């Protein structure tokens, strides 16, 4: 059986939570986020793509008319840093490491977003608490 008395509190999912226990929960969440960030390794932004190329040699298999077999895959990492787009080839030996760096960057970005969200929620909570104290 649902308690309809609390409907005004849970109306919107993004409504800032209330109370000191909620502040404590948000602070704990931030602490947890920081711990997870500390466990990350190298963080590299970017997208890894596979490329297949045609070479300059005559009569190469990559130019076969019936069944062209392009060279590759070559792995290319593209990213933007300080407003500048860059791409570089990644050696097959480095693929595993680079994929790990990209994965950790994604985790970092998600955690950063969560941290910002929790910080904004905290600020809202404190502001509303001050308002309530004045009233």
Based on the shown chain and the rule CB under 5 A, indicate whether residue 25 belongs to the binding site for Zn ion. Answer: no
Nearer to Zn ion (CB atom), residue 71 or residue 81:
71
Judge whether 30 and 24 are in contact, CB under 8 Å.
Answer: no
Q: If binding is defined by CB under 5 A, does position 60 make contact with Zn ion?
A: yes
The yes or no reply on residue 111 touching Zn ion (CB under 5 A) is no
- CA pseudo-torsion sign 8, 128, 126, 12: positive
74 Cβ contact list (under 8 Å, min separation 6): 50, 51, 52, 53, 89
CB nearer Zn ion, residue 48 or residue 62: 62
CB nearer to Zn ion: give 15 or 55.
Answer: 55
Q: Which residues contact Zn ion by CB under 5 A?
A: 55, 60, 62
């Amino acid at each position: 059986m649902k308690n309809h008395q609390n409907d005004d509190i849970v109306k919107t999912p993004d409504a800032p939570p209330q109370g000191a226990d909620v502040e404590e929960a948000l602070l704990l969440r931030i602490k947890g986020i920081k711990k997870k960030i500390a466990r990350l390794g190298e963080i590299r932004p970017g997208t890894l793509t596979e490329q297949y190329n045609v070479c300059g040699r005559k009569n190469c298999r990559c130019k076969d008319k019936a069944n062209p077999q392009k060279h590759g895959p070559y792995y290319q990492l593209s990213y933007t840093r300080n407003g500048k787009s860059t791409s570089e080839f990644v050696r097959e030996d480095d693929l595993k490491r680079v994929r790990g760096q990209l994965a950790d960057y994604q985790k970092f970005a998600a955690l950063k977003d969560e941290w910002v969200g929790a910080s904004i929620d905290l600020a809202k909570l404190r502001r509303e608490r001050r308002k309530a104290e004045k009233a």
